[in-house]
Structure 1
């Protein structure tokens, strides 16, 4: 696989023979790990550009479209070894600031670092900032579904990388020579950091499509008044 190509992949991830992640919605429901906040189906990634854990990233570079592999990944090639220095004591006042009562097992976000409360004794809260799968050997089933090559498809998949829940039906894309226009649905106007999202999309499209100009149209639709 050529580095930087947009490819769609599907996968299943197992730890200790238990499924913990999948792109297959039905399998997720069957195994009791379905998350209604997840978008299921093949995911698009940029090959070889560290969007995945090292073992998957490396395997994709060796695979072709339609190929499937079963991979045994050591912790080093997955989410890394456990780092004892990432288990830290956090003062209770940090939790009180956010009106949170820490209990063991609770996920927390402190200074933009995700961790899990290990213990809570008095004013000393022990938080583990290691990834929950750090130190674990994993198994994956991986398939390359397709390489995204058509310009309109590239523009759509790039937009979905930055706005995961946007769909083809909600987004109109026009490519006129070196100009790309994305006609956005109304709900994107309320996204956090929307200007940064637009900048990210623009930079990717300028690089991938050699576009000279990327434009965005924000739509606001008049709501019909309810009649009694």
Structure 2
């Protein structure tokens, strides 16, 4: 059994009406025609029971053992929710014109941070459905609990990975004492969007989960080989 808040690695495949719509398996995604080159495939680290996955998956994880695999059928209320008629709204055409957007039926849109899909267009009125596209549908999942993250240094690595999914954790250098954690980040992290907010979120998670008093980030910049050669040639 997994305790709430424990960091775990999971893999999963999600189906609706027999068709795969989400997976952590790259080969399966390619085979089923849903491969996205911008996605990072492989086991996903989450905090069990903390709402990072669908409610039905969260509930199942708290009952599973490492290595266990389950097939789950999730009703709408345990998946993407029931359809809410109030989330189907009319948006004036001028809202789209303001951003020089020409709405088309089926187009995904983001209005004031709410993601929806254009349902119909009529006389300057655009009907947008802000329900999740799988709201109201029963979904099936194959879920496997791959591992539980317990070692402090591994917890730090996985927390960094959660907020910086593109990073290779082998490039991280971590120094730990009883009450402090120092993380040496690769140079590429300095150019990430919202890097200060990301570092603050990572630090807060580490402090909460490992009961440490201080988290420090070190960013190291190394002279490029080309720069070294140019300096040598000048000499």
TM norm structure 2:
0.92
Q: Which has the larger radius of gyration?
A: 2
2:105 aligned with 1:104: yes
The change in CA–CA distance for 1:180 and 1:34 in structure 2 (over 3 A counts) is same
Q: Aligned partners of 2:79 and 2:190: how far apart in 1? A: 36
Matched residue, 1:38: 39
* Structure 1 outlier segments of 4+, above 6 Å: none
Matched residue, 1:158: 159
Q: Aligned partners of 1:102 and 1:151: how far apart in 2? A: 50
Q: Aligned partners of 2:127 and 2:189: how far apart in 1? A: 38
Matched residue, 2:63: 62
Matched residue, 1:14: 15
Tell me the secondary structure at the aligned position of residue 100 of structure 2.
coil
Matched residue, 2:233: none
Q: CA deviation at 1:177?
A: 2.6
Q: Aligned partners of 1:171 and 1:98: how far apart in 2? A: 41
Matched residue, 2:185: 184
Q: Is the deviation greater in 10-19 or in 158-167?
A: 158-167
* Mapped contact 2:181–2:212 kept (Cα < 8 A): yes
Tell me the secondary structure at the aligned position of residue 8 of structure 2.
strand
Q: Is the deviation greater in 181-190 or in 144-153?
A: 181-190
Q: CA deviation at 1:158?
A: 0.5
Q: CA deviation at 1:92?
A: 1.6
Q: Aligned partners of 2:78 and 2:170: how far apart in 1? A: 38
Q: Deviations over 1:1-39 (max 9, x none)?
A: 111100000000000010000000000000000011111
* Mapped contact 2:161–2:169 kept (Cα < 8 A): no
Structure 2 residues not aligned, in runs of 5+? 231-235
The alignment of Structure 1 onto Structure 2 pairs a total of residues equal to 228
Structure 1 residues not aligned, in runs of 5+? none
Q: CA deviation at 1:190?
A: 2.3
Q: Deviations over 1:163-193 (max 9, x none)?
A: 1111113322221232111111222222222
Equivalent residues in 2 for 1:48-197 (5 A)?
A: 48-197=49-198
Query: Pairwise CA RMSD of aligned residues?
Result: 1.6
Matched residue, 1:203: 204
Q: Aligned partners of 1:64 and 1:98: how far apart in 2? A: 50
Tell me the secondary structure at the aligned position of residue 33 of structure 1.
coil
Q: Is the deviation greater in 122-131 or in 54-63?
A: 122-131
TM norm structure 1:
0.95
